[in-house]
Amino acid sequence: MTGAEVPAACRLGRAMDSIVELIAAHKSFRTVEALRGVDLAIHSGELVAVLGPNGAGKTTAISLMLGLRRPTRGRALLFGLDPTDRRARSRCGVMLQESGVMGALQVRELVRLFSSYYPRPMPVERAIALAGLEEQARTRADRLSGGQRQRLYYALAVCGDPELLFLDEPTVGMDVESRRAFLDSIRNFAASGRTIVLTTHYLEEADELAQRVVVIDRGRVLADASPTEIKARVPGRRVSFDCEPAPPAAALSGLPVQGLEVRGSHVRFLTNRAEEVLAELFRRGTAIRNLEVVGADLEEAFLALTNHAQSSRPTLSVEPGLAHTSEVTA
């Protein structure tokens, strides 16, 4: 980040420097309560992932922080100001899940346009390079692929050389390779002392990037901790396999899994101790074919965890009658 000014707040230490704050923030849309009392302070220099299944309230939370929506109750502050204040917005870059640009304009033209909105933009070419769009600089926005379009929105978000970057589900529509490059770019940007708030429903993405993960579900903050701590609480792997003949109930009982589904010969469940579970299954002599172990997306994990939780803190309880997880703590 050549010549980039280190945000002032970084130099002040962390005690004083919440640059984004939600204070007992509630948001209702007619009868739907999207946020139910969220307290959240984000400090300068942090890379925070806001994690949760679809419809959890992540985008609503971001909208409040940005002033796109107003809290029904509670407050939102951006750099200590009302989030709609142009002085506050001039220090933020934003990548939204749903947004559009004039499709007939070329990438470079759009970046130049958005640069004009900010007091101290970075050179246009640099913003394009950060997004890896050098080859598409003269391509019309409406002729970009889905992944390239996401990167264009990233270029528009960083072109103002913001201290604070909001990224709402930034890797949606990207292939593996461009996703990798994109996450690197975010990391580099964060390394220059910028603050980044991103939402995702991929636990792995949050794990790779963030120092702090805020888990939101059904409008509440369920957890606010380091990725390692969060991972320990959430079943991060989805295991599936076929089993001929269909497994008897006893074959699967007593395992540290959640969301167990048995459909005929097909078995699937979530766990964060895949190796252990499989070793146990093999030990029991279960005949396993077509084994697949993949990173569970958080949507699945949370559905498994929060489906039947009704208490005020519906954290990580386990479906009764299926299996138990001894290490789960609230």
Partner 1 sequence: MSTLATDRPLDVAPIPRMVAAQIRAVLTFYWRVPAIAVFSIALPLMFFLFFGLGFGHQAIGHGFTVADQLMAQLAAYATGSVFVFNIGIGQANRRAQKLDLLQRATPLPGWVAILAEIVGGLVLALIAVLCLFIFATLAGGVRLDPATYGELLLRVLLGGLPLLGLGLAIGYGGGPNAAPALASLIYLPLSFASGMWIPIQELPKFMQKISPYLPTYHYTQLVVAPFGQSQEMLWHAAAWLAGWGVVLLAVAIRLYRLDSQRKFS
Interface ranges with partner 1 (CB under 8 A): 8-9, 11-12, 16-19, 21, 23, 41, 44, 66, 68-70, 77, 79-81, 86-92, 94, 96, 98-105, 109-110, 112-119, 140, 153, 156, 160, 166
Distance CA(227)–CA(224), nearest Å, equals 9
Alpha helices in the chain (DSSP H): 8-11, 58-66, 86-89, 107-115, 124-130, 146-158, 176-191, 203-209, 227-233, 249-252, 274-283, 298-306
The CB-of-4 to partner 1 minimum distance in angstroms stands at 14
- Starting at the edge strand found earlier in the chain, the sheet holding 266-271 runs 258-263, 266-271, 237-242, 289-295
If the CB atoms of residues 163 and 205 are measured against partner 1, the closer one turns out to be: 163
Q: With CA atoms as reference, report the closest residue to 197 among 66, 67, 328.
A: 66
Report CA-CA distances (Å) from 7 to 162, 198, 294: 9, 19, 39
SS (HEC) of 16-56: CCEEEEEEEEEEEECCEEEEEEEEEEEECCCEEEEECCCCC
If the CB atoms of residues 53 and 67 are measured against partner 1, the closer one turns out to be: 67
If the CB atoms of residues 100 and 123 are measured against partner 1, the closer one turns out to be: 100
The CB-of-301 to partner 1 minimum distance in angstroms stands at 30
The CB-of-235 to partner 1 minimum distance in angstroms stands at 34
Helix (H, G, I), strand (E, B) or coil at 293: strand
If the CB atoms of residues 33 and 208 are measured against partner 1, the closer one turns out to be: 33
Helices and strands counted in the chain (H then E): 12, 13
The CB-of-312 to partner 1 minimum distance in angstroms stands at 24
Which sign does the torsion angle of CA 131, 190, 158, 142 carry? positive
The CB-of-221 to partner 1 minimum distance in angstroms stands at 16
If the CB atoms of residues 91 and 218 are measured against partner 1, the closer one turns out to be: 91
If the CB atoms of residues 114 and 302 are measured against partner 1, the closer one turns out to be: 114
252: amino acid identity, one letter: L
> What are the φ/ψ torsions at residue 198 (nearest 5 degrees)?
-130, 150
73: amino acid identity, one letter: R
Distance CA(327)–CA(174), nearest Å, equals 35
The CB-of-228 to partner 1 minimum distance in angstroms stands at 26
- Whose structure tokens read 């204040």? 85
If the CB atoms of residues 121 and 236 are measured against partner 1, the closer one turns out to be: 121
The CB-of-174 to partner 1 minimum distance in angstroms stands at 19
Distance CA(268)–CA(271), nearest Å, equals 10
If the CB atoms of residues 9 and 296 are measured against partner 1, the closer one turns out to be: 9
The CB-of-167 to partner 1 minimum distance in angstroms stands at 12
